[in-house]
Amino acid sequence: MTAYLIRRVLYAIPILIGVNLLTFVLFFVVNSPDNMARVHLGVKHVTPEAMAKWKRERGYDKPLVWNAAAEGVGTLSQTIFFEKSLSLFAFDFGRADDGRDIGSDIRERMWPSLAIAVPVFLIGILIEITFAMVLAFLRGTYVDLWGVVLCVILLSISSLFYIIGGQYLIGKLLNLTPISGYDTGLAAAKFIILPVVVGVVSGIGASTRLYRTIFLEEINKDYIRTARAKGLSEVRVLFHHALKNAMIPILTGVVVIIPALFLGSLILESFFGIPGLGSYTIDGIRSQDFAIVRAMVFLGSALYIVGLMLTDLSYTVVDPRVRLS
């Protein structure tokens, strides 16, 4: 398994270089360093000298990927791409264009993201599995039929509607929680409730349908038929036998997103004023801050790769037949 993991880590390096290159190309196709300077210096009284100085101070005065004026290795290393990318592999994210340390901001902002994403993830899974099991348990009844209809309705609604509707209903009409905002420590609790409720409800439809299908597939297998033939109750069959085996595809499906929880949710955080990494990414895009965009894309890719590795590992944990080699 160790050899497998080392191999996967080595595979990750070219992937991350590729992602970084792609981000770089996409960003600079629509943004020139001049545009970045203009955005940061404001639209008034911006002189070519001020723009040149801004670029020089931040290293954007060099060629993008090929420095024809340099010699030898310098043709590649004395470029914006190389200078801005190399440090990422040491997880040194550098400074945002407004001068703030990105690593420090990420460390600070990942906690609010986690404060929302972890409860949404855990409570969501719990409710979705419970709901799916109830539907599977009562398959063929009116509960199953209308439950599936409800799931289809829920997954058809835009997440933005859940957010605005949740804020209006729970925060404004019922006055139960603050509409938006955030605080630290225990005081954060009252701000977390509403986004968590919205996050959970908006995810119920799609996941419940998937889990219901997995449960139904499982309870039609031979071993379940055998269990029933032995005279076990439906509850015992479902919870003791079907659940355990159905958890294999469910767990492997959810493990991959665990590392990505750090990155938060772009829209949810923006609407609820949660100072997490999701809104940080949006801020970076809006302000054309390449340093932030690059750091967040790199971090997202790295976490996704970690998620895939964890998924592979989780296979071996939940299914003894699987061996990594």
Partner 1 sequence: MALWRSDTRPALIRYSLTFALFLSSTACTGSPWNNPYPASDEGRNILYSSFEERPKHLDPAQSYSSNEVAFTGQIYEPPLQYHYLLRPYTLIPLTATEVPHASYFDAQHRLLPDSAPVDRIAYSVYEIHITPGIRYQPHPAFAKGAEGRYRYHELSAGELQRVHTLADFPETDTRELLAEDYVYQIKRLAHPRLSSPIFGLMSEYIVGLREYGAVLEKAQAEAGRNGPAAYLDLTRYPLEGAVAVDRYTYRITVRGKYPQLVYWLAMPFFAPMPPEVDRFYSQPGLAQKNITLDWYPVGTGPYMLTVNNPNRQMVLERNPNFHGERYPTEGESGDRAAGLLTDAGKPLPFVDKAVYSLEKETIPYWNKFLQGYYDATGISSDSFDQAVRISGEGEVALTDQMETKGIRLVTSVETSSFYLGFNMLDPVVGGYAERAGKLRQAISIAFDDEEFISIFRNGRGTAAQGPIPPGIFGYVEGRNGINPYVYDWVDGRPRRKPIDEAKRLLAEAGYPNGRDATGKALVLHFDVTTGGPEDKFHFDWIRKQFAKLNLELEIRDTDYNRFQDKMQSGAVQLFQWGWNADYPDPENFLFLLYGPNAKVGKNGENAANYHNPEFDRLFERVKNMDNSPERQGLINQMVEIARHDAPWGWGYHPKQFTLHHAWYKNAKPNLMANNTLKYRRVEPRLRAQLRAAWNHPKVWPVAVALAIPIALVLPALIRHIRRERGAA
| 23/279 with CB nearer partner 1 | 279
| 28/304 with CB nearer partner 1 | 28
Span of 202-210, 271-279, 292-300, 304-312 interacting with partner 1 by CB under 8 A: 271-279
**Interface with partner 1 in residues 131-150 (CB under 8 A):** 134, 137-138, 141-143, 146
Query: Which of 66, 89, 161, 168 is in the footprint of partner 1 by CB under 8 A?
Result: 168
| 48/72 with CB nearer partner 1 | 48
- Please tell me the count of residues contacting partner 1 according to CB under 8 A: 75
Indicate whether 286 belongs to the interface with partner 1 (CB under 8 A): yes
Indicate whether 8 belongs to the interface with partner 1 (CB under 8 A): no
Query: Which of 275, 278, 284, 307 is in the footprint of partner 1 by CB under 8 A?
Result: 275
| 245/301 with CB nearer partner 1 | 245
Indicate whether 94 belongs to the interface with partner 1 (CB under 8 A): no
DSSP-assigned beta bridge partners for residue 20? none
Indicate whether 174 belongs to the interface with partner 1 (CB under 8 A): yes
Provide the minimum distance between the beta carbon of 87 and partner 1 in the complex, in angstroms, as a whole number: 13
Span of 15-23, 219-227, 229-237, 252-260 interacting with partner 1 by CB under 8 A: 229-237
Task: Say what angle helices 243-255 and 102-137 make with each other, to 10 degrees.
Answer: 160
| 47/325 with CB nearer partner 1 | 47
Indicate whether 54 belongs to the interface with partner 1 (CB under 8 A): yes
CA distance 154 to 162: 9
| 68/229 with CB nearer partner 1 | 229
Contact 211, 134 (CB under 8 A): no
Query: Which of 14, 48, 72, 185 is in the footprint of partner 1 by CB under 8 A?
Result: 48
Provide the minimum distance between the beta carbon of 221 and partner 1 in the complex, in angstroms, as a whole number: 19
